[in-house]
């Protein structure tokens, strides 16, 4: 019996153990399978109650509340003030990228040409978008202004365009009346003409102007580096001493020495005075045709065929608002052979020159072995041209000679004042003007440039 009793007890204990086993399995079956959920109940219970609640409450409350309050107040007040602030001139004040090839330059012109919708309403704002500047290798060129030694700021371009033309009150002259406009295109008219073009036509006109500039960049570089101090004074005094000693004593030694490259720089001194185009002076047919008349004279002297001013007015695109100097330069390169003598004609700004360099450049252009005329671009005022009875507007003349001893520049004046005003003087024909007066008359014109 004891043995049986022991066996019964063992069976009872085994049954109790087996009865607990399903409970453990059932608990395991209800336990979540997500490891994060599994770890959450085990590890975090003590910590989450103390720390996690402080962190979410302290940070979200302090920052979200402060951020929404500052963002709405700062953004609305600063955003409206930004659009009026930026000015189109700001971009123009940055140096343009250097164009090392014509394709690069053409791409820059096309990419920077404004769309019709972008062009601003006022002339001052349009000027900085129309008269854009580019860098051609080492030279700077601005549309309308020509080659410049220094690129002007947007504010300077706007000021040049919007500044009133000088008259007797601005120049301090008394008793001098302002008479008719004689026919150059003012900066205001230039900007208005370009801005009124559809973008396709405007880009085509810009590319034509820049093509001429690209072809003439070597001349622009030589003009920028030209040293008037060493050339202008040397010409009157050096013709006699220089040629005599050099050929007699030094020819043989200098053949083997490096002095031979210096001989081309002083082959022959330029003459102290020279004049071309004798007998080819003309007088303009209309009050605003100084451009066609000047070009008629230049072309007539070139091919000895006198075409009408009306035909040249059509080719130059002249209107009652005048003729653009870039058109004068373009037609000189296309329709005459003067560019074969003097190189590609360019529009050259002279605002950083002085009167000595101005005269010396005329001597270089008109006194060498292949002389060619200069397209003078002046403000026709009595103070610079005493043969006038009245003040007039921007104006073209034919630069045809110089005299270094007298310090004068020879021109053909194409405007006859008497023809358009009975109280005017007879003013057309050959004239000799002091170089300082010609230079200042060029600076008085808002464009401050010439064609050569």
| Token output for 289 | 């045709």
Residue 337 sits in the same domain as residue 436: yes
Are 89 and 158 spatial neighbours (Cβ–Cβ below 8 Å)? yes
pLDDT of residue 240 exceeding 60: no
Cα(372)–Cα(303) distance, rounded to whole angstroms?
Answer: 13
* Contacting residues for 403 by C-beta, under 8 A, at least 6 apart: 272, 273, 410, 432
Residue 292 sits in the same domain as residue 415: yes
Residue 307 sits in the same domain as residue 192: no
Residue 110 sits in the same domain as residue 201: yes
So what's the pLDDT on residue 324? 95
Are 411 and 290 spatial neighbours (Cβ–Cβ below 8 Å)? no
Q: Is residue 330 part of a domain?
A: yes
Q: What average pLDDT does this structure show over 109-135?
A: 83
Cα(275)–Cα(82) distance, rounded to whole angstroms?
Answer: 59
pLDDT band at 34 (very low <50, low <70, confident <90, very high): very low
- What's the whole-model pTM score? 0.71
Q: Is residue 20 part of a domain?
A: no
Q: Report which of residues 86 and 11 the model is more confident about.
A: 11
Residue 233 sits in the same domain as residue 342: yes
pLDDT of residue 188 exceeding 80: yes
pLDDT of residue 322 exceeding 90: yes
Q: Report which of residues 236 and 380 the model is more confident about.
A: 380
So what's the pLDDT on residue 266? 56
Residue 427 sits in the same domain as residue 322: yes
Range of the domain at 416: 227-239+265-451
**366-416 pLDDT, tens digit each:** 999 899 999 999 999 999 999 999 999 999 999 999 999 999 999 999 999
pLDDT of residue 29 exceeding 90: no
H-assigned helices in 185-318: 187-196, 199-215, 217-225, 228-231, 234-237, 245-249, 251-256, 290-303, 309-316
Number of domains in the chain: 2
Cα(314)–Cα(152) distance, rounded to whole angstroms?
Answer: 32
Residue 190's nearest CA partner among 122, 130, 254 is: 130
Q: CA angle, corner 376, sides to 192 and 331, nearest 5? A: 65
Q: pLDDT > 90: what percent of the chain?
A: 57
So what's the pLDDT on residue 78? 39
Q: Is residue 26 part of a domain?
A: no
Residue 207 sits in the same domain as residue 112: yes
So what's the pLDDT on residue 88? 39
So what's the pLDDT on residue 237? 35
* Terminal CA-CA length for the chain: 141
Residue 399 sits in the same domain as residue 333: yes
Q: Are strands 133-136 and 139-142 parallel, antiparallel or unpaired?
A: antiparallel
Residue 302 sits in the same domain as residue 398: yes
Q: 225 vs 219, 220, 230, 233, 238, CA distance in Å?
A: 10, 9, 12, 17, 22
pLDDT of residue 321 exceeding 50: yes
Residue 197 sits in the same domain as residue 235: no
Q: Is residue 11 part of a domain?
A: no
So what's the pLDDT on residue 244? 38
Q: Is residue 128 part of a domain?
A: yes
Q: Is residue 38 part of a domain?
A: no
Q: Is residue 328 part of a domain?
A: yes
**Count of CB atoms situated within 10 Å of the CB of 245:** 9
CATH of the domain at 316: 3.90.70.10
Are 395 and 290 spatial neighbours (Cβ–Cβ below 8 Å)? yes
pLDDT band at 250 (very low <50, low <70, confident <90, very high): very low
pLDDT band at 330 (very low <50, low <70, confident <90, very high): very high
Cα(425)–Cα(358) distance, rounded to whole angstroms?
Answer: 28
So what's the pLDDT on residue 92? 46
Residue 179 sits in the same domain as residue 275: no
Helix axes 199-215 and 325-335, enclosed angle (nearest 10): 60
Q: What average pLDDT does this structure show over 48-61?
A: 40
pLDDT band at 257 (very low <50, low <70, confident <90, very high): very low
Q: Report which of residues 104 and 1 the model is more confident about.
A: 104
pLDDT band at 285 (very low <50, low <70, confident <90, very high): very high
Residue 192 sits in the same domain as residue 281: no
| Token output for 179 | 């008479």
Q: Is residue 244 part of a domain?
A: no
pLDDT of residue 308 exceeding 90: yes
Are 129 and 114 spatial neighbours (Cβ–Cβ below 8 Å)? yes
Q: What number of CA atoms fall less than 13 Å from residue 248's CA on the CB side? A: 5
pLDDT of residue 353 exceeding 70: yes
């Amino acid at each position: 019996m004891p043995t049986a009793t022991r066996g019964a007890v063992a069976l009872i204990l085994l049954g109790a153990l087996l009865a607990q086993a399903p409970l453990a399995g059932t608990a395991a079956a209800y336990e979540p399978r997500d490891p994060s959920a599994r770890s959450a109940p085990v590890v975090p219970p003590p910590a989450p109650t103390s720390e996690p609640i402080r962190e979410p409450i302290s940070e979200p409350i302090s920052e979200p509340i402060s951020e929404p309050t500052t963002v709405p107040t700062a953004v609305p007040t600063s955003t409206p003030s930004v659009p009026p602030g930026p000015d189109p001139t700001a971009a123009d004040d940055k140096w343009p990228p250097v164009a090392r090839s014509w394709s690069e330059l053409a791409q820059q012109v096309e990419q920077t040409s404004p769309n019709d919708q972008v062009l601003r309403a006022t002339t001052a704002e349009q000027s900085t978008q129309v008269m854009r500047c580019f860098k051609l290798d080492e030279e700077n060129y601005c549309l309308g202004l020509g080659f410049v030694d220094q690129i002007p700021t947007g504010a300077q371009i706007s000021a040049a365009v919007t500044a009133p033309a000088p008259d007797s009150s601005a120049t301090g002259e008394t008793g001098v009346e302002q008479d008719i406009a004689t026919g150059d295109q003012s900066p205001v008219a230039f900007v208005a003409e370009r801005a009124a073009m559809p973008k396709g036509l405007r880009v085509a006109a810009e590319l034509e102007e820049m093509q001429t500039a690209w072809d003439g960049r070597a001349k622009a570089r030589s003009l920028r580096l030209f040293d008037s101090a060493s050339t202008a004074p040397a010409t009157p005094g050096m013709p006699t001493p220089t040629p005599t000693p050099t050929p007699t004593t030094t020819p043989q030694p200098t053949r083997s020495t490096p002095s031979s490259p210096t001989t081309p720089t002083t082959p022959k001194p330029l003459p102290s005075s020279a004049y071309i185009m004798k007998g080819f002076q003309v007088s303009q047919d209309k009050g605003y045709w100084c451009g066609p008349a000047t070009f008629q004279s230049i072309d007539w002297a070139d091919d000895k065929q006198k075409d009408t001013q009306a035909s040249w007015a059509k080719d130059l695109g002249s209107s009652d608002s005048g003729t653009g100097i870039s058109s004068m330069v373009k037609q000189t390169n296309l329709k005459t052979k003067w560019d074969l003598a003097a190189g590609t004609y360019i529009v050259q700004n002279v605002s950083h020159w002085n009167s000595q360099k101005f005269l010396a450049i005329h001597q270089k252009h008109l006194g060498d072995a292949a002389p060619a005329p200069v397209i003078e671009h002046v403000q026709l005022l009595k103070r610079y041209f005493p043969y006038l009875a009245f003040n007039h507007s921007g104006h073209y003349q034919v630069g045809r000679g110089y005299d270094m001893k007298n310090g004068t520049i020879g021109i053909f004046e194409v405007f006859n004042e008497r023809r358009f005003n009975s109280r005017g003087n007879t003013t057309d024909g050959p004239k000799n003007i002091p170089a300082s007066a010609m230079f200042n008359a060029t600076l008085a014109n808002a464009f401050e440039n010439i064609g050569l």
